Amino acid sequence: MRIIGIETSCDETGIAIYDDQQGLLAHQLYSQVKLHADYGGVVPELASRDHVRKTLPLIEAALKQANSSKDDIDGIAYTAGPGLVGALLVGSTVARGLGFAWQKPVVPVHHMEGHLLAPMLEDDVPEFPFIALLVSGGHTLLVEVQGIGQYRILGESIDDAVGEAFDKTAKLMNLDYPGGPRLAKLAEQGQAGRYKFPRPMTDRPGLDFSFSGLKTFTANTLRAEGGVDNADQQTLADIAYAFQEAAVDTLLIKCKRALKQTGLKRLVIAGGVSANVFLREQLAELMRKLGGQVYYPRTEFCTDNGAMIAYAGMQRLKAGQTTLDAVVKPRWPIEELPAV
């Protein structure tokens, strides 16, 4: 079977073609970073318009890359949520239109399930059950995964997700959009020990996250140093290092608790923040000490992409979970998904 995956939940237009025997056949991605850079963040209306312009040309490019035609396609998967409603509607409308025109089933896919299953695109595939740390955009989730669609949320962010905290802190430090990766790059020049930031919500039981306080602590630290414009480059790098260290350490503490609580030894990390090199290094060391194993998607599949939607859609297509409606759910708890 062969399926097209369409991802339009935010500021990347991703199209991919996945074959259940041959694997990933095509992967096309267009990023809107330059479009939104002048505004310091994603402008929903501009994002939607750009998806309208890019989706069909990228589908044509993917079909050509996979040496396929509509007759070779058995289904069309699209991101139904969570995400920006206007952006989601572009993908769902295109998917439904192609479904009617080509007489193919259409599969709505949960964006976070796409991230969760992205490591399945690699050669080293995690076996069920495992713990998943999902760190994508406005989401920070710890999920116990028994199988596809068998998800139990163990912890989630109660205010800013870790990705949001990275981006907002970068903005405080006058770093260009997208801020998170730039802050991580600046932190590479920082020195450990000069500043000590708190590890929020680690001094109490539970697996929920809160990162808004780290942003505030950074703002206060910058103010104490005379502000961004008056601080030297090394000071800014040291502050960036302390912020990243605190954020990553908080994630590690909660992951360790989740693994101990469930008795599991496998950890999956996915989503945009999972590309952070420091986070990967620290989690690898944690799992080595625990005698477990950590799994990631390759870097290009950490951010939003069509490949993860195509893979997740294939699993749902095989289970007959298709629709004739252009369903979108800007808010969609992952625990609502049916099992496969």
Q: Is 268 annotated as a binding residue?
A: no
Nearest Cα residue to 327 out of 112, 6, 85:
85
Nearest Cα residue to 28 out of 11, 10, 15, 13:
15
Q: Is 136 annotated as a binding residue?
A: yes
Q: Is 111 annotated as a binding residue?
A: yes
- Please name the amino acid found at residue 311: Y
Q: Is 304 annotated as a binding residue?
A: yes
Q: Is 110 annotated as a binding residue?
A: no
Q: Is 139 annotated as a binding residue?
A: no
Asked if 266 contacts 130 with a C-beta cutoff of 8 angstroms, the reply is yes
Strand-by-strand arrangement of the 266-270 sheet? 150-156, 139-147, 130-136, 266-270, 293-295
Q: Is 213 annotated as a binding residue?
A: no
Q: Is 86 annotated as a binding residue?
A: no
Q: Is 134 annotated as a binding residue?
A: yes
Binding residues, by number, are: 111, 115, 134-138, 167, 180, 276, 304
Binding residues for Fe cation, by number, are: 111, 115, 304
Binding residues for substrate, by number, are: 134-138, 167, 180, 276
